[in-house]
Amino acid sequence: MIILKTAAEIEQMRKAGALVRQVLERLGRYVAPGVRTAELDAIAEEMILAAGGTPSFKGYCGYPASICVSVNDEIIHGIPGKRVLVEGDIVSIDCGAILDGYQGDAAMTFPVGDVSVEAEKLMRVTREALEAGIEMARPTMRLGDIGNAIQVHAESNGFSVVRDFVGHGIGRRMHEDPQIPNFGSPGTGLRLRPGMVLAIEPMVNAGGHEVMIMDDGWTTCTRDGSLSAHFEHTVAITDAGPEVLTLP
């Protein structure tokens, strides 16, 4: 069941989105060689609580932290801990917060110091793929148009999109219908309508799309060990087109 949001609800979600984005920007400035991933989690949790929000990931299906921190071949759901970032890593940070009952959800991949040309390209292409998907998030388009735009941009640059994890509707709950694959055929699938709010989140691998889940039950890596990047925005579909809610 898809829950359409009123303009007032979208306004609420913009506030939750702004908080998430502020957390990500602060963490992005903090990322550097020598930083422990648990430090990033502590900063995020403190910021969300100080703003009167709730970290939506913490306790979700037993997830133990307020953000996901996924390094290099880790795609998503990396658990912050003792790992120390080193020069040349790329680090994907995913953050969700609830403010006044509404959710915001966003992710970005950051370079740690100087990174390889391939890593730079992977991050740029994944960000562009998200932008291409968002561009399709407007009335009259269909879900397959979003997935197709993302897939075509990633694959035409020699990368692959993860199939086993997808984006999602979002509102009072973090995961609402519909699921939003990062692949698909144009002109197919659910027709998009004003009031839908979608978390669009391409995960792009430098190698193959296959994933594996580590023994901690969360950390999801590329099967071939290749690098992966992840960018996510919470986006409202309005009569005027897509509106990104996870902006500062």
Contact residues toward ligand MF3 (CB under 6 A) are 57, 60-61, 63, 68, 77, 94, 96, 105, 168, 199, 232
Within 10 Å of residue 113's Cβ, how many Cβ atoms? 13
The count of residues interacting with Co ion (CB under 5 A) is 2
Query: What distance in Å separates the CA atoms of residue 214 and residue 230, rounded to the nearest whole number?
Result: 18
Is residue 105 a contact residue for Co ion (CB under 5 A)? yes
Here the tokens at position 226 are 């290749």
Q: How far is the CB of 232 from Co ion (least distance, A)?
A: 5
Q: Which is nearer to ligand MF3, 42 or 240 (CB)?
A: 42
Q: How far is the CB of 167 from Co ion (least distance, A)?
A: 6
> Are the CB atoms for 26 and 47 separated by under 8 Å?
yes
Is residue 211 a contact residue for Co ion (CB under 5 A)? no
Here the tokens at position 17 are 């989105």
Is residue 73 a contact residue for Co ion (CB under 5 A)? no
Q: How far is the CB of 79 from Co ion (least distance, A)?
A: 16
Query: What distance in Å separates the CA atoms of residue 105 and residue 98, rounded to the nearest whole number?
Result: 9
Is residue 176 a contact residue for Co ion (CB under 5 A)? no
DSSP E strand stretches across the chain: 54-55, 67-71, 74-76, 90-99, 102-111, 160-161, 167-169, 176-180, 197-200, 203-205, 211-213, 220-222, 228-230, 233-238, 241-244
Q: Exposed, middle or buried: residue 100 (CB in 10 Å: 0-12, 13-18, 19+)?
A: exposed
Is residue 115 a contact residue for Co ion (CB under 5 A)? no
Q: Which of ligand MF3, Co ion, none does residue 63 bind to, with CB < 5 to 8 Å depending on kind? A: ligand MF3
Q: Which is nearer to ligand MF3, 73 or 105 (CB)?
A: 105
Q: Which of Co ion, ligand MF3, none does residue 57 bind to, with CB < 5 to 8 Å depending on kind? A: ligand MF3
Is residue 203 a contact residue for Co ion (CB under 5 A)? no
Binding site for Co ion (CB under 5 A): 105, 199
